[in-house]
Structure 1
Amino acid sequence: MRAPLSWLREYVDLPASETGRDVAARLIAAGLEVETVEQTGAGLKGPLVVGQVLAIEELTEFKKPIRYCQVDVGRGADDPQNLICGATNFAVGDKVVVVLPGAVLPGGFEISARKTYGRVSEGMICSERELGMGEDHNGIMVLPPEHEVGTDAIELLELVDEVLDIAVTPDRGYCLSMRGLARETATAYGVPLRDPALLDVPAPNAHGYPVKVTDPLGCDRFTARTVSGLRPEAQSPIWLKRRLQKAGMRPVSLPVDITNYVMLELGQPLHAYDRSRIEGPIGVRRAESGEKLVTLDGTKRVLDAGDLVITDDRGPIGLAGVMGGANTEIADASAEAADGPVSGTTDVVIEAAHFDSVSVARTARRHKLSSEASRRFERGVDPEAAAAAAQRTVDLLVLLAGGTAEPGVTEITTPSGSRTLRIPADHPDRVAGVSYGRETVVRRLQQVGCDVYGDAGQDEQLTVTVPSWRPDLTDPNDLAEEVIRLEGYENLPSTLPRPLPGRGLTERQRLHRRVGRALAGAGYVEAPSYPFVGEAAFDALGLEAGDPRRRTVQLVNPLSDEEPGLRTTLLPGLLATLRRNDGRGSHDLALFETGLVFLPTGSETAAERLPVAQRPTDEQLAGLDAALPEQPRHVAAVLAGARERAGWWGKGRPADWADAIEAARTVAAEAGVELTVESASFAPWHPGRCAALHVRLEGSRVLVGHAGELHPRVLKALGLPERSCAMELDLDLVERAATGQVQGPHVSTFPVATQDVALVVDASVPAAEVESALRAGAGELLESLRLFDVFTGEQLGAGRKSLAYALRFRAPDRTLKAEEASAARDAAVAEAVERTGAVLRGA
């Protein structure tokens, strides 16, 4: 909502020294979101006057139209101002805006007399855009003839002003009007409000325009007034146009401008119908499926059975609360049709109605047609303001268009009582932790517009009647919020919460944090992603049709139709982040994410909507848990580009499958768990470069994830760099496999004995199998084992490879003898020979 400060001052007596920024600060303190304060006419400097064109000389020697004009600027016809102008939309006798030498237009454009097109131009005739009034630059701004020559145009056109741009939240719909903003401003400054809705409105009678409402739930109030004898040629006065422009609306024609003006002033959307184009009574009903309507924007729309429509005897003539129909549009006398001038509207029917907010919102979204009217109805319009808005519109049409208000007044209402709430007088105190006192609570609620009753008895209960313009006040906490915001959020004390003794992070939370720190320390960057996924992501990952990861929990109201499910793996989001960053020039990437995945069990039920007035029972909580899918926490990492960059220290190294496995080992180490790695084939990894990761859990070997290099087809489908790698683990399973708290390593005081061994095996034998055999044979003296070389060559023979391991032996209580280390080494080799058919290289 854009609110000009000059307009706001009509309803609130603000101090003359208050600027737009001062008012914005007060409104922000009261809980409104003031985004900007725009200075209109900033830098503008006169002289800027009203002039009358005396003569026009067409300069025909130029390729484009150029006119040499003599304009009376208030010094008389004998001393005209000579001006060059390229516009052709004005004639002799027209009143125009002239900027004289020495003036400065918005944007720092200084005006001086200068020679151009062979003549001296002593200033400039201005368009709306040059004056900062709008974007219209198609021609010169022609003023109504009643303005006197020489009048100061800066004051006449209200060029200098401040406009507050306020982002109105859905619960504060009343602030989409000058009336609502004036109420908030008056409360913020502690001054009276001149309510523009306090008008003398005639009582309804039987002589008004006939209206029939068949859906009282969709339309609980409909006021109709008729004005006849309008002057079709009447134009909107400058003050009206300027207020609409400052509020962000485009002037159209006098009747339309007046309805828009009253909507901005009172917050009540209105519609004006050309009475000569209405056939029969006006009706309000639900549309019949398949009915058609051409709206004011020229679009032919197929209506839905849920749409609320305005009708006459022919059918729909408007979408209620959204937009009117083209077949009853007000005709502009200044417009011209192909076959000649259009006769303007002389008789209008004014509609001021109150429509159901949910119905209007659904219609606007269904037809993708958001309007100023629908924005207000969606957020809540004061139903009691309809009659006042209709009267204000009638008054302006009579005043500005010379019309006559007909005595008939139609008002159809559905009886409804006022909303009344009971609230303890100290309820805001208990919510805020501040002692406001009963008097302050009553005063603040009355400033909001509530009627407050209640004696200072033992229970200190207040009976509060909520005003009609505040549909968002529905329970005591809403009233408490009003008191707190008007007293000032900044006055609330800041206190730290006091945790109960014995509380803290769970082991799962600690592991989650340790894993994040460990991966960050290893060079990975955390990249959280949205948990939504679609079939296209699974197709790109190459998952087969029966893959359980394709079975997702479907959202009832997804943000995107392309991603209607919840993820069963973290990889789609991470790989999308990898692709996006690679496309933006970051090619060396290492990303990770920890988060929940959602695995449907098939036994989910519809969740019960629980009341908020009391704590749910254990049975209700169990029912909620049963409605949820399994949600294990996973950790995943992806790599691309260089893992070690090149520099003066040496050559770099690209990321490969081993780095993905090492990331998994880093995660397992934080849980104190040892991973068993073996080759596997599992989408989306490359079959020959994929590792299955297992842990020991309750005596059994359990699969917890995979790591390795992604399949080339997956890289092509997702647009990822070559040799991209990934890892994903079930972090909850890893936690369950942990035997207890992570123990720090024992530092021995005895020296280590290192023995190297090279074994030749078939190329098909996994290195992990050889390593397992060596560990089993070496016994308790083995401290660590590391594969440091893999060799293949002609001397080994086809289909053979050499694996070289470094074995470290150490005793906890003594220094090992060489014979003991050698015996342990020989036992390890013997076990590997027996299990894998290995041959000691060089033997």
Structure 2
Amino acid sequence: MKVPVSWLSEHVDIPAGTTVEELDEAFVRLGFEVEEVLRPPVTTGPLVVGRVLEIEELTGFKKPIRYCQVEVGEDAPRGIVCGARNFAVDDLVVVALPGAVLPGDFAIAARTTYDHVSDGMICSVRELGIGEDHAGILVLGRDGSTPGTPAAGVLGLDDVVFDLEVTPDRGYAMSLRGIARDLAGALGVDWRDPAALTPPAWSGEPGWAVEVADPARCDRFSMVAMEGLDATAPSPWALRRRLAQCGIRSISLAVDVTNFVMLELGQPMHAFDRDTVTGPITVRRAAAGERLTTLDGVDRALTDDDLLIADGSGPIGLAGVMGGASTEIGEGTTAVLLEAAHWEPAGIGRGVRRHKLPSEAAKRFERGTDPDVTVVALARAAALLAQHGGAAQVVGAPVDLDVRGPRPVIALDAGRPGRIAGVEYPPSQVVEVLQAIGATVEGDGQQLQVTPPSWRGDLTDPADLVEEVVRYLGFDEIPSVLPTAPPGRGLTERQRRRRSIGRALADAGYVEAPSYPFVGEAQLDALGMPVDDARRTLITLRNPLSEEAPAMRTTLLPGLLATLARNLARGQRDVAVFEHGAVFPGGPRTQAPVPGVDRRPDDDVLAALLGAVPEQPWHVGVVLAGNLEPRGWWGPGRPGIWADAVQAAHTVAAAAGVELTVRAGERAPWHPGRCAELLVGDGDGDGDGARVVGYAGELHPRVCAALDLPARTCAMELDVDALPAAPVAVGPHVSTFPPVLVDLALVVPDAVPAAEVEAALREGAGELLEVLRLFDVYTGAPVPAGSRSLAYALTLRAPDRTLTGEEANAARDAALALAVARTGAVLRG
């Protein structure tokens, strides 16, 4: 909302000497964010109002030229050459005299042109830096200023405009009336309500027949009829200047007047060409198949949720959003119907989003307008049209259909604002503030009965009144008190584990890349998930940020793979990223109750609320593509493979203080033959009785193609919350006796997992085995086809003695024998 200080000063007695900075501070204290302070363009030198006395048409040139005699408050008029033709004798114009410098460092001097001396310049809006119109010069009308008057005040060149950000719950502040009321309270000065006028005593039959078929969506509808309008009459400069300062383009007198009243009172209106309206007007919902061509020329399909203003021919306006093209005011319009109504805000908001049709009127209606000012706004607009639109006058009585019920009464403890804010507010001060915002307050002592004003539809609960009291008296008056941290607390075990996992992956070379926790069916389709996959059971949001991703994620992979694709598209070739965060598995759940805000929910309500919240297990995922180790003079680099994704899982498990078991698995979106299943809770490595906590490996080629990812892209996802608690760490025993180092190379079939071989060796070696490490994998001659050679390094040591050769050989032979028996391994010669 743009607020010119000069317009604001007409309604608020701003103390003399108040600076722009002080006004800025007052707006901030009231809760308005000052987006920008707009200052007028700089113009120096003589810039005055002039009256055109004579116009001489010059001929013999390539374009029409005029030589004008202009009175500028001096003894003799000045002769000025001008090519514009949109002014006439007796018009008031703006004249830049020699010595003036206009915006853009445009200096004015007397010069000879078209065989005449031009002693100044008649200015256009663009030349003055106050608009973009350059089709003609700026005409100020014929009355209102004396020739020779400095033009800066007339043009608003000494004015300042505040651009305020108004929160959606404060629709009253989308008008000069609402801003003036708040500012007057903040400055402690008087103000004048522009809505405090008495409409004329119009008489006769109602100007038109009107019916409201949906009073729940429109509880007040007002209308007046006018005749004798000169639709071609220009809007006065003062009105156009105010509209321009507020960021609204001048269109025509009727439209400009309705926009002016909307800015002043906060009540949007619409003007219909009365001669194009057929039959009674009805406010109703759209029927199936109905269409409406709006003022922007777009033919729109309507739904049964659209609220319409209709006549005998059908829809003539989308209520509260935009009028129809069939009843638009044109140059030949002489009779109009002015409409002002109070619409249900939520319905207007739905219509704006559905038709993608934002407007200044809808911006106010969806925030809530004052239903008490509909007739006042019509009277104000009718008076302006009668003043500037020729012989325009109201005919007949106004239509005013009002089905509103009584305003709610809110019970408030006068001590509650002070208890919540931590500031002592006397009850008398609380009452004074509530009355200042327009509320009616009854009751004595601490218990108050508060009736909010008609323009504050957002005030529905005691908490709203508390906020108003604190805001009005100043948020900056609330003391900043740091709470005392209770001793003996810190991060929980779960928080420490999550942080350790993030640090471990970052140390391993992965970059954290958080993403939005939203997903859509198309993303799950791209991952090749079957229709019965549990991850397809989604929790859908009622108000999603994007229709393409309307649900909460059940896996981290869509966000991680989108991040990978984005980095690859921007030239990155070696990418390894991770994310850890909550996922939201769907499924049946109870409906959450909606507690009131007047008191704390009891234990049963809190339990029901928590019971309706879906589970949110904490997952960690990684994706990698390209080289994991960069190329350089030392070599060509090493690409990331499925084993690196498995190693990332081991890194996570180590940071969590647990061990993982790995076995072959199958799950979308991984390649069936290159997918590892990650398990916990199994000591012998065979997978029996273990719990699956994640998967790692190489993505399926079809998934890589669908997401435009390089072949052999790898990924891992693991449920951190499913990992068991880490055992208490015990320091290792440091033996003083020397180890025995033994190497074993075993040939095993390709189908046998290395984890099974390792488990057999570990069990067979017994207590003397200290370290077991796989250090080589080999395929090719002389190893038979379909098999591979696994070479292990065994470190044997006894805690209380030096091992003999016989003891070491016995442990090695026992390990070999158990591996041969379980896996069919053969000792490689």
Q: Does 1:395 align with 2:393?
A: no
Q: Does 1:687 align with 2:672?
A: yes
Question: How far 1:10 sits from its partner (Å)?
Answer: 0.8
Map 1:426-505 to 2 at 5 A: 426-456=415-445, 460-498=446-484, 505=491
SS in 2 for 1:582: helix
Which residue in the other structure is 2:515 paired with? Answer: 529
The Cα offsets for residues 784-829 of structure 1, whole Å up to 9 and x where unpaired, read as 2222222233333444432222222333445545554444333323
Counterpart-to-counterpart distance in 1, 2:765 and 2:122: 99
Contact kept, 8 Å, 1:555 with 1:565, in 2: the verdict is yes
Choose which of 710, 728, 736 in structure 2 pairs with 1:721. 710
SS in 1 for 2:576: strand
More displaced stretch, 787-796 vs 738-747: 738-747
Counterpart-to-counterpart distance in 1, 2:285 and 2:278: 19
Q: Does 1:36 align with 2:22?
A: no
Residues 71 and 731 of structure 1, relative CA distance in 2, 3 Å threshold: farther
Contact kept, 8 Å, 1:98 with 1:126, in 2: the verdict is yes
Q: Which amino acid aligns with 1:464?
A: V
The Cα offsets for residues 391-425 of structure 1, whole Å up to 9 and x where unpaired, read as 21222223223433446344332252233222111
The Cα offsets for residues 171-197 of structure 1, whole Å up to 9 and x where unpaired, read as 100000000001111111111111111
Residues 742 and 559 of structure 1, relative CA distance in 2, 3 Å threshold: farther
SS in 1 for 2:767: coil
Residues 91 and 60 of structure 1, relative CA distance in 2, 3 Å threshold: farther
Contact kept, 8 Å, 2:218 with 2:341, in 1: the verdict is yes
Question: How far 1:777 sits from its partner (Å)?
Answer: 1.7
Q: Which amino acid aligns with 2:665?
A: A
Q: Which amino acid aligns with 1:157?
A: L
CA RMSD of aligned residues (A): 3.4
More displaced stretch, 681-690 vs 200-209: 200-209
Which residue in the other structure is 1:354 paired with? Answer: 342
Residues 800 and 404 of structure 1, relative CA distance in 2, 3 Å threshold: closer
Which residue in the other structure is 1:563 paired with? Answer: 549
Counterpart-to-counterpart distance in 2, 1:330 and 1:554: 45
Which residue in the other structure is 2:187 paired with? Answer: 189
Counterpart-to-counterpart distance in 2, 1:26 and 1:452: 26
More displaced stretch, 4-13 vs 822-831: 822-831
The Cα offsets for residues 502-555 of structure 1, whole Å up to 9 and x where unpaired, read as 766543333223222222232322222223222222222222344333333344
The Cα offsets for residues 727-770 of structure 1, whole Å up to 9 and x where unpaired, read as 11121221x3x453455655555554433332333344332232
Residues 691 and 286 of structure 1, relative CA distance in 2, 3 Å threshold: closer
Map 1:220-239 to 2 at 5 A: 220-239=219-238
Which residue in the other structure is 1:827 paired with? Answer: 814
Q: Which amino acid aligns with 1:827?
A: A
More displaced stretch, 426-435 vs 123-132: 123-132
Which residue in the other structure is 2:163 paired with? Answer: 165
Q: Does 1:641 align with 2:626?
A: yes
**Under a length normalisation based on structure 2, what TM-score does the superposition of the two structures give?**
0.90
Counterpart-to-counterpart distance in 2, 1:213 and 1:474: 26
Choose which of 668, 676, 684 in structure 1 pairs with 2:661. 676
Counterpart-to-counterpart distance in 2, 1:836 and 1:227: 98
Counterpart-to-counterpart distance in 2, 1:529 and 1:653: 28
The Cα offsets for residues 238-293 of structure 1, whole Å up to 9 and x where unpaired, read as 01000001111111222221111111001111222333333444443334333343
Question: How far 1:497 sits from its partner (Å)?
Answer: 3.8
Q: Does 1:103 align with 2:100?
A: yes
Residues 94 and 817 of structure 1, relative CA distance in 2, 3 Å threshold: farther
Residues 71 and 622 of structure 1, relative CA distance in 2, 3 Å threshold: same
Which residue in the other structure is 1:380 paired with? Answer: 368
Q: Does 1:369 align with 2:357?
A: yes
Which residue in the other structure is 1:510 paired with? Answer: 496
Q: Which amino acid aligns with 1:642?
A: N
Provide the aligned length of Structure 1 versus Structure 2: 819
Question: How far 1:689 sits from its partner (Å)?
Answer: 3.0
The Cα offsets for residues 204-226 of structure 1, whole Å up to 9 and x where unpaired, read as 76633243334333332233334
Residues 390 and 79 of structure 1, relative CA distance in 2, 3 Å threshold: closer
The Cα offsets for residues 595-636 of structure 1, whole Å up to 9 and x where unpaired, read as 2323334x4344444455566676666655665554432211
Choose which of 776, 785, 792 in structure 2 pairs with 1:805. 792
More displaced stretch, 167-176 vs 294-303: 294-303
Which residue in the other structure is 2:255 paired with? Answer: 256
SS in 1 for 2:361: helix
Q: Which amino acid aligns with 1:577?
A: T
Question: How far 1:476 sits from its partner (Å)?
Answer: 1.2
SS in 1 for 2:459: coil
Contact kept, 8 Å, 1:46 with 1:154, in 2: the verdict is no
More displaced stretch, 141-150 vs 393-402: 141-150
Counterpart-to-counterpart distance in 2, 1:837 and 1:66: 105
Counterpart-to-counterpart distance in 2, 1:443 and 1:692: 69
Counterpart-to-counterpart distance in 1, 2:509 and 2:673: 26
Counterpart-to-counterpart distance in 2, 1:678 and 1:636: 18
Question: How far 1:663 sits from its partner (Å)?
Answer: 1.1
Residues 393 and 92 of structure 1, relative CA distance in 2, 3 Å threshold: closer
Counterpart-to-counterpart distance in 2, 1:114 and 1:391: 51
Counterpart-to-counterpart distance in 2, 1:26 and 1:468: 25
Counterpart-to-counterpart distance in 1, 2:116 and 2:627: 70
The Cα offsets for residues 459-486 of structure 1, whole Å up to 9 and x where unpaired, read as x212222111111111111111111112
Counterpart-to-counterpart distance in 1, 2:59 and 2:779: 94
Counterpart-to-counterpart distance in 2, 1:102 and 1:744: 90
Which residue in the other structure is 2:283 paired with? Answer: 284
Residues 393 and 835 of structure 1, relative CA distance in 2, 3 Å threshold: same
Map 1:335-350 to 2 at 5 A: 343-345=332-334, 347-350=335-338
SS in 2 for 1:381: coil
SS in 1 for 2:695: strand
Residues 450 and 812 of structure 1, relative CA distance in 2, 3 Å threshold: farther
Choose which of 560, 570, 578 in structure 2 pairs with 1:574. 560
Question: How far 1:102 sits from its partner (Å)?
Answer: 4.1
Q: Which amino acid aligns with 2:749?
A: D
Contact kept, 8 Å, 1:54 with 1:72, in 2: the verdict is no
Contact kept, 8 Å, 1:49 with 1:73, in 2: the verdict is no
Residues 821 and 656 of structure 1, relative CA distance in 2, 3 Å threshold: same
Question: How far 1:444 sits from its partner (Å)?
Answer: 1.7
Q: Does 1:543 align with 2:534?
A: no
Contact kept, 8 Å, 1:54 with 1:77, in 2: the verdict is no
The Cα offsets for residues 6-60 of structure 1, whole Å up to 9 and x where unpaired, read as 111111121343343431221111111221111122x332333456484455786
SS in 2 for 1:561: coil
More displaced stretch, 578-587 vs 71-80: 71-80
Residues 71 and 796 of structure 1, relative CA distance in 2, 3 Å threshold: farther
Which residue in the other structure is 1:784 paired with? Answer: 771
Q: Which amino acid aligns with 2:193?
A: D
The Cα offsets for residues 129-160 of structure 1, whole Å up to 9 and x where unpaired, read as 33232233445445535576655443332234
**Under a length normalisation based on structure 1, what TM-score does the superposition of the two structures give?**
0.88
Which residue in the other structure is 2:126 paired with? Answer: 129
The Cα offsets for residues 332-363 of structure 1, whole Å up to 9 and x where unpaired, read as 3xxxxxxxxxx342x33332222222333333
Contact kept, 8 Å, 2:797 with 2:803, in 1: the verdict is yes
Counterpart-to-counterpart distance in 2, 1:116 and 1:760: 103
Which residue in the other structure is 1:519 paired with? Answer: 505
Counterpart-to-counterpart distance in 2, 1:743 and 1:17: 75
Counterpart-to-counterpart distance in 2, 1:576 and 1:118: 71
Residues 763 and 111 of structure 1, relative CA distance in 2, 3 Å threshold: farther
Question: How far 1:592 sits from its partner (Å)?
Answer: 1.5
More displaced stretch, 235-244 vs 766-775: 766-775
Counterpart-to-counterpart distance in 1, 2:385 and 2:85: 32
Residues 656 and 622 of structure 1, relative CA distance in 2, 3 Å threshold: same
